[in-house]
Amino acid sequence: MQAARGTSVDGSDSGPTDPRRTVASGRAWAVFSLVAVGLYAADQFSKHAAVEHLTGRDDVRVVGEVLQLHLTRNPGAAFSLGTGFTVALSCLAIVATGVVLVVSRRLVDKVWAVALGALLAGITGNLTDRMLRDPEPFRGHVVDFLQLPNWPIFNVADISINIGVGLILIQVFRGIGLDGTRQATKSDTTSSEDSE
């Protein structure tokens, strides 16, 4: 009987493991870090500029009616949902930050690195507002200022989260793991067993 690649014949896992599966590659982690830091900085800079220049002003048209700047402060989650759960949202963001950082230690694939970097930037960007802005820590209101027609007002952190989630979904549907290997589908497993 032939053992599957990476496992021993008797099913034990005592053999050496592929280090790519447990430790991030330097390049992927560098991509992750650069994306996270870059998008986080863009988010915080844009929010600072919005508060500085849009407070007390009417809407500023950037591209006619398509894109306008309108300063608002959001105590809730995306689309102003959960406005009464700001503390819970802050705690959830702290947990999510920890999860992304732990998962990032296994990154090898660069698309996953961009996805998790963008996700981390978005989560921590809005978390920073909740921790440092009025009215108090854990209850701070998130600064939103980008407005599209028939769409809730949002910010760069929200864009980052959507990019991250979108890339994660693409990688999951493609069957690409954090280490860059394609996961075997059920049909692949069945056909390989039938050929033995």
CA angle 174, 96, 19 (to 5 degrees): 55
Task: Check if 179 is active-site.
Answer: no
| 41 vs 48: CA distance, rounded Å | 11
Residue 176 β-bridge partners? 182
Residue type at 187? Answer: S
Would you say 140 and 129 are in contact if contact means Cβ atoms under 8 Å apart? yes
Would you say 84 and 139 are in contact if contact means Cβ atoms under 8 Å apart? no
> DSSP 3-state assignment of 155?
coil
Q: Which of 144, 179, 188, 194 is catalytic?
A: 144
Q: Which of 158, 179, 188, 194 is catalytic?
A: 158
Task: Check if 144 is active-site.
Answer: yes
| 67 vs 71: CA distance, rounded Å | 13
Q: Which residues are designated catalytic?
A: 144, 158
